[in-house]
Amino acid sequence: MSARELHAILPLLILSGGILFLLLQVSFLRSHKAAAATAVITLIAAIAACFDVARTLSQSAAPIEVTGLLLIDQQALFFCLLFLLAALAIAVLGFSYLQKRCDSARESIPEAFYLLLLLVMLGAMALVFSNHFASVFLSMELMSLALYPMLGFAVTGDLSPRLEQMYSLESGVKYLLLSALSTALGLFGMALIYAACGALDFGGVAAAVANLPRTPSLLLSGLTLLLITLAFKLSLVPFHIWTPDVYQGAPSPVTALIATVGKGAVVALLLRLFTELELFSIPALTGLLAAASVASMLVGNLLALMQKNIKRLLAYSSIAHIGYLLVAFLIGNSAFGNEAVLYYLVAYVITTLGAFGAVGLIADSALARTAGSAGEYVYTTTSPFQRDFYRGLLWRSPWLAGCLAAMLLSLAGIPLTIGFIGKFYIFAAGIQGQLRLLLAAVVIGSAIGLFYYLRLLLTMVLREPQAPLDSIESVRIAVSGRLLLISLTGVLLIFGVFPQILIDWIYTL
Amino acid sequence: MLNRPTQFDPATLVQHLWPLIVYGFAVLALIALMLGLSYFLGQRRRDAATDEPFESGIVSQGSAHVRLSINYYLVAILFIVFDLEAIYLFSWAIAFRQTGLLGFIEAAIFIVILLAGLIYLWRLGALDWGGKQQRNL
Amino acid sequence: MQDFFAPFLAWIPLLPLLGFVLLIALPLFHLREPPEAVSAVVGVGSVCLSALLTLLIMWTLFLNNPSAVLQVSLWQWLKVGALQLGFDFYLDWLGMAMLLVVTGVGFLIHLYSAGYMHGDDGYRRYFAYLNLFVGAMLILVMADNLLLLYLGWEGVGLCSYLLIGFWYRNSANGDAARKAFIVTRIGDTAMLLGLILLFSQFGTLSIRALNTAAASAPANNLTVTLAALLLLGGAVGKSAQLPLQTWLPDAMAGPTPVSALIHAATMVTAGVYLIARMHPLFNASETAMSAVGIVGALTLLLAGFSAMVQSDIKRVLAYSTISQIGYMFLALGVGAWTGAIFHLMTHAFFKALLFLSAGSVILSLHHEQSLFSMGGLRRKLPFTFGCFAIGCASLAALPFTAGFYSKDQILLKAWEYQGGFNGIWFTGILGALITGFYSFRLLFLVFFGNDGPASAQCKDANNGVMTLPLSVLAVLALFGGLLTPPLQRVFTQAPAGHAPLWVEGVAIAAPILGLALAWLLFRHNTSPMESRGKSALEKLWFSGWGFDWLYHRLLVQPLTSLARINRNDILNSIYNGTAFICRQLHNLLSTSQNGLIRWYIASFTCGAIIFLALLVVL
C-alpha cells in the first residue's frame, strides 16, 4: 500500500480515527456536548480531507485504486461530500433531540449516538468507494449494523415518552429482521456471481458480464438477488413495506439519516455497479428496475394520499422520490443521465433533511416534563406528528412554517425550489431516453403528490377557529436548529433559482 | 437485446420444464389427497380436552414463556465477539513470519481497536453483572 | 391652435376617471366614509371641469368651423401582429355634439344628484360609479378605433349594471341589473363578432380607415352587410331596440338621476352614435340600412303602445325612451343622419328634464311611483309642474319646442325616403300621435284632476342644487332646437327637398291630436282603465307585448332546466371519479401496511420471487 493510496483513503482514515478517539473519550469523559463536538470536528476534518483528495485527483486525472477493494474517483468524492454534509446536519438535529431526552446523571448514554453516526458514515463512504463485492458487503453491513441501534435509540434517551420508546424499538427490530433477510439474499447473490465468474472484483465480473450467455444464467440470477438487496435498502416497491413503520418509529434525526445517507450511498453504489459492470446493456435488469420504479412512484404516492402522520407521509413520499430518481438512472450510461441522478440526489437529500429536520424540531419543542417523580417527558399534545398538530403553524411560528413550506414545495416540485430543477432533470432525461411509460408514471405520481403536499401546506395556513389569538404559542426551537433549517432553505432556494452553480460543480467531476 | 433468448418459444420452454411442472402438480395433488382423506375419513369430535396439548396423560402446568435475564445474552454476545477476533489473530500468528513488519503493524492496529472497544464496554458498565441495579445500590 | 388644444382633449375623459379613482380610494386614507360634501365636490367637480373644458374647446376651435377635427394619440395600447391599436382620440363635430351632451347634461344630472341622493348610505359609491360612467362614455365617444370604443362601450355597460343594482339590498334590483347586463351582453357579443369580422376583412380597426374601405367596397358586399348587421346587433342591445328592448323598463330600478343620465340621455343613445359614426359602412349596404329603419319603426310603435298603458311614472318614461330611440333609428335607416343626432341631442335635454322632474315628484311623494296614487300635484309642486309640462311638450314635439325641430326633420326625411308616402313615414306620424297621447296622459294623471292617495303627503323636496339643473334643462328643452350642430361636413347628404305642405301639417297635427285625446280621457284624473279593469290588449301592451314572457319561455327556462339537469356537473364526475379511484387504491394499499413483521417478511419474499420470475420472462 503506497503513500498515495493511503492519502486517497484519508477521509476514511480520519473517520476511523475519530471513532476510536470518541470511544476512548466517552470512556473517560462522559459529556454529551464534548462527544457532539468531537463528532462534528471529525466530520469537518473528513470534509476537508475529501477536498484534499479531490485536489490530488484533479491533478492526476485517473481514479486511484486502493488494494483492489476501493476505488476513489471524483464522483465518489462528490457523494461523500454530500453525505458528510448531511451527517453534519444530522449531528445538529441529534443534539437537539438528545439534549432533552437524556439525563446524563442516569444510565442513558447520548454519546453513543455520535459514535454510531460516525460508524454509519464510515460504512456509507466505504460503500461509495467500493470496487469489490467483499467491500460492498462489509461496508453495507457496517452501515446497517450501526443503524439498528440508532433506530432504537429512543430507548437510550430514557426520558423519552414511553410510547416513543416502544415505537423506536419496534422500528429497530423490524429493520433488523428484514435487513437480515435482504442481506442474506444479497450474500447468496454474491455467491452465485462468484460461482459464475470466479471473481468478486468489479473488473473481473465485468469481463464475465460482457460474455454473458443469452439465456437466464447463474450470473444473472446472482445479479438479480443483489439488486433485490439494493432495492430493499432503497425501499423500492415491492420491497418498500418496512419503510413507513421504520421511519415513523425511529428518532427523527435517524429517520433523516436513513432516508438521506442510507439511501444515497446505495444509489451511489448502484450507479457504480451499473457503470462498471456494463449492466445497462442487460435488458432484464433495466426492465426490473423500470418496473420497480413505476410501481414505486404510483404506490408510494397513493399510500401517502390520505396519510395523517407526517413522518409516515414523508416515508411514503421518499419511496416515490427514489422511483423518480430511477427514471433518470435508467437512461443508461450517459453523461446526462449521470448528471440528472446526481442533481436529483442532491435535491432529495437537502429536501428530505429539511423536512425531517423541521418535523423533528417541531416535535422536540412540544416536549414537556411531567410533574411526576419519574421526570419523563411527555408531549403536550396528543401527537406532534399528526397533521392536526400543524394546524395554524404559520401563525404560531412563521419562520419555521416557511422553511417547512419551502421543503414541501420542493418535494412537490414547484418552481423556484431545487425540487423543481430536479424534477425537470428527470423529465429531460426521460424524454431523452424515450421512456414514455416511466414519464407517464412520473406525471401521475407528481399529480397525486401535489395533493398531499398542498393539503399539509393548507393545514399549516388554517387558523384555529376557536382559539383566541393570545393563547397561540410560538414553537420554540434551539438556535442551532433554526440556523440549520434556514441554511437548508437558503440552499434549496439558491439552487432552485440558480441551478447553474450546482450543475457546474457536477460537470467538473 | 443481448440477453434475450434468441427464439423465445413457449413450446421448447414447456418441453424443458414439463418434468418440473408435473412434479409441482404431483406435490399439490399429494397434499390435497392427504388432507382430503383425513378430512373425510377421520373422526371429528369436540370435547373439552380436544384442544389441550397432550403430555402423557398429565395436564400441563403453567406457561412455557420463561423470561431470562438479558445479561445472559449480553455476556454471550460479548464472548462471541471477542472469541471471533481470536480466529483472526490465530491466522495471523501462523503467517507471522511471512507478513513481516507490515502484518505486525496491521495486527497491532486491530488489537488496539479491540482494546479501545473493551475499554469502552468496561467503562460503560457492560461487563458489570446485573448492571444498573448494583451500581445504583 | 389645434396643437395647443390636443393635450387637453385627453383630460376630458381623464377627469371623471380621476374622480372615480379618488372616490374609490378615499376610505383608504381616512378609513371611514368621507362627508357627503367631499364626495359631491369630487364627483360633481370633475364632471364640471370636463364640461368646461369641452365648452372651451368647442368655443375656440369648433364654433365657426364645421370641418374642425382634433385628434390626439396617447400611447400604443396593443400590438399583436398586424393589429396595432393606440389609445387614440378623435373629435369632429359629431363627437363634439355627443361630448357636449354627455358632459353638459351629465354635469347637470350630477348636480341634481348631489341633492337627490342626500342622506343615502352609498353617497360616495354613487358618485364613484357615476364618474366612472361619464369617463367610459367619453372614451366611447372620442375613440378613434373600434376596440377603444368597445372598451368604453363595455365600461358604460358595467356602470349601468352597477347603478341599476345600486340599492342591492332589494333583490329585485339585483335581478333587474343582471337582466340589463345579460341582455346587453347579447348585443355586445354580436358587436365583438362584427369587430372581428371587420378586422379579418379589412385588417384594421381604425374607424376612419374602415369607413373609407367600406365606402369603396362594391355595393351590397356580403361581408360589409354582415358586419353592419352585427354592429347593429350591438347597437340594438345597448339602445334597447327590438328585439333586445326588454331590459330598459326594468332598469328603472336604479336611482332616478341614473335613469335620466344613463337610461335616457346618454348610454342608451350610444347605439345611435355607433351607427352614425360608422355611417359609410351602413350606407354601403341597403339591407343593413333598411334593417336599421325597420327596427326603429317597429320599436317606436311597440314601445309607444306600451307607454300608453303603464301605471308607473318611470316605466312610462322608459318606454317613451325606447320609442324615441326608435325614432333615431328610423332616422338613421332613412339616412337622416343629422336628424338622428339632432334628435339625440334634444331628446337628451327633454328626457333628462322629464326624468329629473319625475325624480322630484317621486322624492316629494316619499318614493311613490304609481301614477294612480298621484294627481292634482300642479298646485303643490308648481315649479316641478312647469318643468314637467315643458318636457312633455318637447317630447310630444309641440311646435316651437326643441323636440319639434328634430322630429320634424326626421319625418320630412322619412317622407322623402321613397319619394313620397311610405310605411316608414306613416309609422313616424302614428308614433307622433301616440307620443302626444302618452306624454300628456302622464302629465294629466300626475298633475291634474283630484288628489291621489299619495298626493296628501306631498312635500316639495326641491332644493337649490336640484332646481338649477331643472331650470337649465327646461330652457334647453324649450329652445334647444336652435342649437343645430353643424354636421353637414360629417355627413355628406343631399340637401333636404321640399315636401308638400300638408305633410308638414300632418306632422304638426298628429301630436296635437294625441294631446286632445289625452285631455278628453285623463283630464279629470279618473282612469277608465283602472275602474273597469284591463282588456286583453291592454294587458299585452302593459307587459311590453309579452316579450319578457316569450324570452322566459324560449330562452331562460330551457337554459335553467338544462342547468338543473347538469346540477351535479356531469363532466366533474370524471375528476371526482379519479379522486375516488385514487382513494380506493390508497385504502387497498394501506391494508398491506398492517405492521405485522411476518406479513412484511412474506411480502418481501413474494417480491423476491416476482423479481426472479420476471427475470425469466424478460
DSSP string across A139-203 = HHHHHHHHHHHHHTGGGTSTTS-HHHHHHHHHHHHHHHHHHHHHHHHHHHHHHHHHHHHS--BHH
Compute CA distances A243 → A214, A247, A309, whole Å.
Answer: 36, 6, 13
Residue A111 to residue A31: CA distance in whole angstroms: 7
Cβ–Cβ < 8 Å for C188, C274: no
Compute CA distances C125 → C12, C32, C46, C113, C172, whole Å.
Answer: 21, 13, 15, 13, 20
Q: What is the mean pLDDT of residues C399-421?
A: 81
Task: Choose among B3, B6, B120: nearest Cβ to A283.
Answer: B3
Inter-chain CB proximity A178 and C615 less than 8 Å: no
Give the residue from C110, C140, C164 where a domain finishes.
C164
- Which residue stretches of chain B have pLDDT < 70? 1-11, 13, 55, 130-137
Q: What local confidence, expressed as pLDDT, does residue A254 receive?
A: 95
A425 pLDDT higher than 70: yes
Reported as a single tens digit per residue, the pLDDT across C520-561 is: 877 765 554 455 566 777 777 777 777 888 888 888 888 889
Q: What local confidence, expressed as pLDDT, does residue B135 receive?
A: 44
Residue C543 to residue C551: CA distance in whole angstroms: 13
User: Is C588 a domain residue?
Assistant: yes
Interface probe for A, chosen from C591, C600, C609 (most Cβ of A below 10 Å), is C600
Q: What are the chain C neighbours of A244 within 8 Å (beta carbons)? A: 593
Strand partners, A64: A72
Residue C25 to residue C8: CA distance in whole angstroms: 25
Highest mean pLDDT among A81-85, A211-215, C89-93, C478-482: A81-85
User: Is C65 a domain residue?
Assistant: yes
- Give percent above pLDDT 90 in chain A: 56
User: Is C242 a domain residue?
Assistant: no
CA–centroid distance for C255 within its chain: 15
User: Is C61 a domain residue?
Assistant: yes
Task: Choose among B1, B113, B116: nearest Cβ to A283.
Answer: B1
Burial class (CB in 10 A: 0-12, 13-18, 19+), A355: buried
Residue in the structure block whose three cell numbers are 372616490: C23
Angle at Cα A236 formed by Cα A233 and Cα A240, nearest 5°? 80
Q: What is the mean pLDDT of residues C444-460?
A: 77
Inter-chain CB proximity C589 and A302 less than 8 Å: yes
Q: What is the mean pLDDT of residues C25-49?
A: 81
State the nearest Cα–Cα gap between A276 and chain C, in angstroms.
21
Q: Which residues of A405-425 are buried (b: 16+ CB within 10 A; e: fewer)?
A: bbbbbbbbbbeebbbbbbbbb
Residue C533 to residue B27: CA distance in whole angstroms: 102
Inter-chain CB proximity A26 and B124 less than 8 Å: yes
pTM of the model: 0.67
Q: What local confidence, expressed as pLDDT, does residue C554 receive?
A: 85
Inter-chain CB proximity A182 and C604 less than 8 Å: yes
Task: Choose among A174, A238, A305: nearest Cβ to C586.
Answer: A305
Inter-chain CB proximity A288 and C611 less than 8 Å: yes
Calculate the CA dihedral of residues C261, C267, C273, C277 and round it to 10 degrees: 130
User: Is C92 a domain residue?
Assistant: yes
User: Is C155 a domain residue?
Assistant: yes
User: Is C221 a domain residue?
Assistant: no
DSSP C74: E
CA–centroid distance for C569 within its chain: 36
Interface probe for B, chosen from A6, A16, A107, A114 (most Cβ of B below 10 Å), is A107
CB-based contact (8 Å) between A210 and chain B? no
Q: What local confidence, expressed as pLDDT, does residue A465 receive?
A: 63
Q: Which of A101, A91, A121, A80 is CA-nearest to residue A168?
A: A101
Per-residue cell: A5: 493510496
Interface A-B: count of C-beta contacts within 8 A: 40
Q: What local confidence, expressed as pLDDT, does residue B6 receive?
A: 45
Inter-chain CB proximity B119 and A282 less than 8 Å: no
Q: What local confidence, expressed as pLDDT, does residue B9 receive?
A: 62
Q: What are the chain A neighbours of B3 within 8 Å (beta carbons)? A: 212, 214-216, 220, 282-284
Inter-chain CB proximity A173 and C597 less than 8 Å: yes
Please indicate whether residue A226 or residue C33 has the higher confidence score (pLDDT). A226
Q: What local confidence, expressed as pLDDT, does residue B133 receive?
A: 47
Q: What local confidence, expressed as pLDDT, does residue B137 receive?
A: 36
A469 pLDDT higher than 60: no
Tell me the residue type at C171: S
CATH of B70-136, one of 1.10.10.60, 3.30.310.80, 1.20.1050.40, 1.20.58.1610: 1.20.58.1610
Compute CA distances C161 → A6, A229, C118, C156, C157, whole Å.
Answer: 85, 71, 22, 9, 6
Please indicate whether residue A508 or residue C188 has the higher confidence score (pLDDT). C188
Give the residue from C164, C195, C213 where a domain finishes.
C164
Inter-chain CB proximity A24 and B120 less than 8 Å: yes
C82 pLDDT higher than 80: no
In chain C, the number of structural domains is: 2
Per-residue cell: C397: 314635439
Inter-chain CB proximity B5 and A107 less than 8 Å: no
CB-based contact (8 Å) between B132 and chain A? yes
Residues 6+ apart with CB under 8 A from B19: none
Residue A503 to residue A206: CA distance in whole angstroms: 30
The ipTM is: 0.91
Residue C592 to residue C586: CA distance in whole angstroms: 10
Q: Which chains touch A (3 or more CB pairs under 8 A)?
A: B, C
The structural domains of chain B, with segments of one domain joined by +, span 10-42, 70-136
Residue A230 to residue A239: CA distance in whole angstroms: 10
Inter-chain CB proximity A214 and B120 less than 8 Å: no
Reported as a single tens digit per residue, the pLDDT across A23-76 is: 999 999 888 899 999 999 999 999 999 999 988 888 877 888 888 899 999 899
Q: What local confidence, expressed as pLDDT, does residue A212 receive?
A: 73
Burial class (CB in 10 A: 0-12, 13-18, 19+), A366: middle
Q: What are the chain A neighbours of C592 within 8 Å (beta carbons)? A: 241
Q: What local confidence, expressed as pLDDT, does residue B35 receive?
A: 93
Reported as a single tens digit per residue, the pLDDT across C570-604 is: 888 888 888 899 999 999 999 988 889 999 999 99
Residue in the structure block whose three cell numbers are 342626500: C118
Residue A208 to residue B39: CA distance in whole angstroms: 54
Interface A-C: count of C-beta contacts within 8 A: 74
User: Is C193 a domain residue?
Assistant: no
CB-based contact (8 Å) between A211 and chain B? no
Reported as a single tens digit per residue, the pLDDT across A401-415 is: 899 999 999 999 888
Q: What local confidence, expressed as pLDDT, does residue C494 receive?
A: 58
Residue in the structure block whose three cell numbers are 495471523: B92
Chain A residue with minimum CA distance to C585: A302
Residues 6+ apart with CB under 8 A from C326: C241, C295, C296, C297, C298, C299, C300, C301, C303, C431
Q: Which of C581, C586, C592 is CA-nearest to residue A308?
A: C586
Reported as a single tens digit per residue, the pLDDT across A130-155 is: 999 999 999 999 999 999 999 998 88
Cβ–Cβ < 8 Å for A202, A277: yes
Interface probe for C, chosen from A241, A448, A454 (most Cβ of C below 10 Å), is A241
Range of the domain at C591: 568-617
Say whether C92 sits in a helix, a strand or coil.
Answer: coil
CB-based contact (8 Å) between A55 and chain B? no
CB-based contact (8 Å) between C616 and chain A? yes
Reported as a single tens digit per residue, the pLDDT across C233-257 is: 988 988 888 888 888 888 888 888 8
Compute CA distances C198 → C78, C86, C280, C290, whole Å.
Answer: 17, 17, 14, 20
Inter-chain CB proximity A281 and B2 less than 8 Å: yes
Inter-chain CB proximity B3 and A284 less than 8 Å: yes
Cβ–Cβ < 8 Å for C527, C294: no
Q: Which of residues 554-613 of C touch A (CB under 8 A)?
A: 582-583, 585-587, 589-590, 592-593, 595, 597, 600-601, 603-608, 610-612
Give the residue from C138, C164, C190 where a domain finishes.
C164
- Give percent above pLDDT 90 in chain B: 17
Q: Which chains touch C (3 or more CB pairs under 8 A)?
A: A
- Residue A466 phi/psi, 5-degree rounding, is -90, -30
Q: What local confidence, expressed as pLDDT, does residue A215 receive?
A: 64
Interface probe for C, chosen from A177, A298, A302, A311 (most Cβ of C below 10 Å), is A302
> What's the per-residue H, E or C state across C428-481?
HHHHHHHHHHHHHHHHHHHHCCCCCCCHHHCCCCCCHHHHHHHHHHHHHHHHHH
Compute CA distances C277 → A195, A313, B60, C287, C374, whole Å.
Answer: 96, 67, 112, 18, 42
Reported as a single tens digit per residue, the pLDDT across A294-349 is: 999 999 999 999 899 999 999 999 999 999 999 988 887 778 888 889 999 999 99
Q: What local confidence, expressed as pLDDT, does residue A464 receive?
A: 67
State the nearest Cα–Cα gap between A109 and chain B, in angstroms.
9
